[in-house]
Structure 1
Amino acid sequence: MNLLAQYYPEHVKLLNQRVAEIVSREAIAGLVIHSGCPQRQFLDDMDYPFKVNPHFKAWLPIIDNPHCWLVVNGTDKPTLIFYRPVDFWHKVADLPDAFWCEHFDIQVLTKVGDVDALLPKNRKSWSYIGEHIDVASELGMTSHNPSAVMNYLHYHRTVKTEYELVCMREANRIAVTGHLAAKNAFYHGASEFEIQQEYLSAVGKTENEMPYGNIIALNENAAILHYTGLARQNPDHRHSFLIDAGAQFHGYASDITRSYSFEKNIFEELVEQMDHLQRAIVDMMAPGVNYVDLHLACHDKIAQLLLDFKLASGDKQGLIEQGITRAFFPHGLGHMLGLQVHDVGGFLSDDIGTHIASPSAHPFLRCTRTLAVNQVLTIEPGLYIIDSLLSELKQDKRQSQVNWDFIALLRDFGGIRIEDNVIVHRDCNENMTRELGLN
């Protein structure tokens, strides 16, 4: 925790500098950043789990308290309006007392409706950043999430401060603990639901505290990219296990995937080769490298893997150009990671919002940027037996290039995905996931 206190002053200083730059550029008074409001369930008296505005938690690690506000202009000391009602139905938040408090003028709000008196008076010259436009309008703010401001913040948010990197290393450490527990549960015969409970117990979190819904998939379920079924019953035969699960620390996410074979067989050999492939792509990361080029290199390596295992025939370039590799690896190589799992800014070439489109042949990419120092990204190649995609290959001459008997053998195993969280440094890459003990 000492590292958090050590690095936080520079973090908040940089955030203030960014705000000062964009408010000057856009000739506005400052930003009013809303933590958010609870969302009531339809026809009920209970709320959905609260998810804080990522622009709010960029400043401070308050991730579970709605109705809070930040007033920042880049010059004056930021103001935190902290919501702490008088409430005997629910536990109210404790008054802030942490390493970051000295950097804010903290004002306590006891009634939601009283925030009007604590916000700036000339609100038409301030921009509201948040989800609840109706609340902002009612409070007299007419500028809502202006695109110029959002593009600027999103572009620069991809480069992490030292404070943020400390948080993300801790998010990885927590998740690695869960992954090791889940792996052990799989090999000891647990069901998907039981593996999920082992994971949550190991990380010490509830399901609602996860950065995303864990993917815990046995056998053929591993071919469903966003599977969240969590079957209670064990399958008749145990073939494979895919886990895609992360953790959060101070609002920063980790996102890690591993695949396992229950027995030593050809599928285990495939997993090992996919692991080598993934490590090779990580080794190619460096400042100045274009992420699209990494994605294309991944398809080249997957084409070679298909040939090596006789899953397909022909030549590498032909397998790529005909879309055969896409039938086995249909998603993008990875994404930006940070305050959100699929973090913003992955398509921006500059801070005015110039968009870098994905190649038409690869529409599911989540990042097209050139890598820079202190960016954090996932690298997650996959190889799946997805019948709806493979069936398209049967409709034309490509069917003769696919080993359908091998496909039938692999169908019970579902698929493979290997995902690490990597920091791009000037002279090396820091694979947080591997360095924290998950191989």
Structure 2
Amino acid sequence: MTSSDSTSLPALYAAHLAEQQRRTEQALARGGYDALVIASGVEKFAFLDDRPYVFQPNPHFKLWAPLVQHPDSWLVIRPGHKPRLVYCQPEDYWHVPPSAPSGFWVEHFELIIVRRPEDAREHLQVAGRLAIVGEADAALDGIVPNNPLEVLNPLHYARAVKTPYELLRLREASRSGARAHLASQRAFREGRSEAEIHRAYLAASGHAERELPYGNIVALNEHAAVLHYQYQDVAAPARSLSLLVDAGAHSCGYASDITRTTGNGDATFQALIDAMEAAQLRLVDQVRAGVDYRGIHLASHREVAGVLRRLGIVAMSEEAMVAERVTSTFLPHGIGHLLGLQVHDVGGFMAGEDGGTIDKPEGHRYLRLTRVLQPGMVVTIEPGLYFIPMLLDQLRATPAAAQVDWTLVKHLSAFGGVRIEDDVACRDDGAPENMTRDAFAALG
């Protein structure tokens, strides 16, 4: 347990709300607005159907209230006032309505319960100029989301730095995710199918599938070479060579995002996993205040070049592999992203509170974070090394192809590839906090 975790949850939450109130008041003043009105969102339905999609709350809403299954609710934030929560609790016998508000958080709000979505309107029309945040379909008569950038920009920029309450929630999400990853690895060793491994993950995480922060990637064998592999075969392969699981969990809307790769005992593939594990930990150690995250991404290509050279996959110098973009064949994605209320949290490219963009390194268009790290930021570090057929075909057409051990590549292609991902908090006292490794260590 960290020092933040040892502080009572109510105290951490109260301090968190005070910080959000401070940030909001500053953002309203910068934009010339008098109040911030936030829609939780509305339930959406499939086209020509009465079947709803999984409800996804507005992240601005769950930043304030630990409510993730509450459509048609609203918040009103005003300088000098207690936050107002308009809580929609319909009378319904077709579905289970939200329970009556209770818990450590309720006392911090002016609570108004309404039975119909339209009844919220009268409680949202406060005096002054309103910044209304939400999707267009959340609009009520006279309350139409305008999402002013002069208010949203400073809020998005600030949200990258987490409060102690948010860090506690992210640690909880890491613990749930780590427990589920261990269950998925056990199912792999039992020879289970992707669908069965996924079900083992769900059972261990304590989440229903609709509650996951993102769709699980559960990839056996060559499927691990598909970065966002979206299917789950119900039949197990004749032989399970490798498993890549990219999956998370959540705690009151805060997400974990963890990837682990497991082999079946093949010495060559295990050597690749071990080399990538060591490289990943070196990259994690670079998560420190004042470090440009783009530098960590570029360092990941140097690390991958070293792995390719040491394992005999590519017989070129590391400098030449990076310069000739050979490493991009094997690592075609970014090193990671901000993490928090959203798995790919907002504000990753922002130059400052007024907006603007910090450019990605040339030739690295898939990087999702370009900011300088600050204490309180939580990022993922997820290097990978894959054997992707279409990219390998492109490499074959270059002069570097002569330096590739294609026999070894063919052998490793059956395993798909390796990705290892940890959730890491930047701290003000030097070494980063690896939430993912800490969670696995706590489980023994």
Give the TM-score normalised by structure 2.
0.96
2:398: which partner in 1?
Answer: 396
Aligned equivalents of 2:380, 2:266: Cα separation in 1: 28
Aligned equivalents of 1:3, 1:221: Cα separation in 2: 44
1:115: which partner in 2?
Answer: 120
Aligned equivalents of 1:178, 1:406: Cα separation in 2: 33
**By how many angstroms is 1:403 displaced?**
1.4
Give yes or no for contact 2:73–2:117 (8 Å, CA) kept in 1. no
* 1:248-259 map, 5 Å: 248-259=250-261
Aligned pair in 2 of structure 1 residues 414, 187: CA closer, same or farther (>3 Å)?
same
Q: Which runs of 5+ in 1 are unaligned?
A: none
1:128 aligns with 2:132: yes
Instruction: Tell me which amino acid in the other structure corresponds to 2:56.
Output: K
**By how many angstroms is 1:3 displaced?**
3.0
Out of 427, 432, 436, the position equivalent to 2:435 is 432
**By how many angstroms is 1:333 displaced?**
0.3
2:212: which partner in 1?
Answer: 210
Aligned equivalents of 2:144, 2:13: Cα separation in 1: 32
2:240: which partner in 1?
Answer: 238
Aligned equivalents of 2:79, 2:417: Cα separation in 1: 49
Give yes or no for contact 1:16–1:75 (8 Å, CA) kept in 2. no
* 1:275-286 map, 5 Å: 275-286=277-288
1:47-101 deviation digits (Å, cap 9, x = unpaired)? 1111100000000110001000000023211100000111111111111111111
Give yes or no for contact 1:127–1:142 (8 Å, CA) kept in 2. no
* Secondary structure in structure 1 of the residue aligned to 2:393: helix
**By how many angstroms is 1:121 displaced?**
4.4
Aligned equivalents of 1:74, 1:278: Cα separation in 2: 45
Aligned equivalents of 2:407, 2:192: Cα separation in 1: 30
Aligned equivalents of 1:283, 1:403: Cα separation in 2: 31
* Secondary structure in structure 2 of the residue aligned to 1:349: strand
Instruction: Tell me which amino acid in the other structure corresponds to 2:433.
Output: E
1:65: which partner in 2?
Answer: 70
* Secondary structure in structure 2 of the residue aligned to 1:437: helix
Give yes or no for contact 2:379–2:424 (8 Å, CA) kept in 1. yes
Which ranges of 4 or more aligned residues in structure 1 deviate by more than 4 Å?
A: none
1:155: which partner in 2?
Answer: 157
Give yes or no for contact 2:73–2:120 (8 Å, CA) kept in 1. no
User: Which piece of structure 1 moves more, 364-373 or 312-321?
Assistant: 312-321
1:103 aligns with 2:105: no
* Secondary structure in structure 2 of the residue aligned to 1:286: coil
Aligned equivalents of 1:237, 1:381: Cα separation in 2: 26
Out of 277, 292, 300, the position equivalent to 2:294 is 292
Aligned equivalents of 1:143, 1:64: Cα separation in 2: 20
Aligned pair in 2 of structure 1 residues 39, 212: CA closer, same or farther (>3 Å)?
same
Instruction: Tell me which amino acid in the other structure corresponds to 2:90.
Output: P
* Secondary structure in structure 1 of the residue aligned to 2:356: coil
Instruction: Tell me which amino acid in the other structure corresponds to 1:395.
Output: A
Aligned pair in 2 of structure 1 residues 166, 135: CA closer, same or farther (>3 Å)?
closer
1:219: which partner in 2?
Answer: 221
Give yes or no for contact 1:127–1:141 (8 Å, CA) kept in 2. no
* 1:132-143 map, 5 Å: 133-136=136-139, 138-141=140-143
Aligned equivalents of 1:181, 1:135: Cα separation in 2: 39
Aligned equivalents of 2:280, 2:141: Cα separation in 1: 50
* % same residue: 42
1:319-373 deviation digits (Å, cap 9, x = unpaired)? 0111100000000000000000001111112111121011121110000010000
Aligned equivalents of 1:287, 1:299: Cα separation in 2: 21
* 1:367-386 map, 5 Å: 367-386=369-388
Instruction: Tell me which amino acid in the other structure corresponds to 1:398.
Output: A
Tell me the number of residue pairs that the alignment of Structure 1 and Structure 2 aligns. 436
Instruction: Tell me which amino acid in the other structure corresponds to 2:240.
Output: R
Give yes or no for contact 1:242–1:416 (8 Å, CA) kept in 2. yes
* 1:7-86 map, 5 Å: 7-86=12-91
Aligned pair in 2 of structure 1 residues 135, 337: CA closer, same or farther (>3 Å)?
closer
**By how many angstroms is 1:30 displaced?**
1.0
1:362: which partner in 2?
Answer: 364
Aligned equivalents of 2:287, 2:196: Cα separation in 1: 37
1:375-399 deviation digits (Å, cap 9, x = unpaired)? 1000000000001111111122121
1:245-296 deviation digits (Å, cap 9, x = unpaired)? 1001010000000001111410001101100000011112210001000111
Q: Which runs of 5+ in 2 are unaligned?
A: none
Instruction: Tell me which amino acid in the other structure corresponds to 1:279.
Output: L
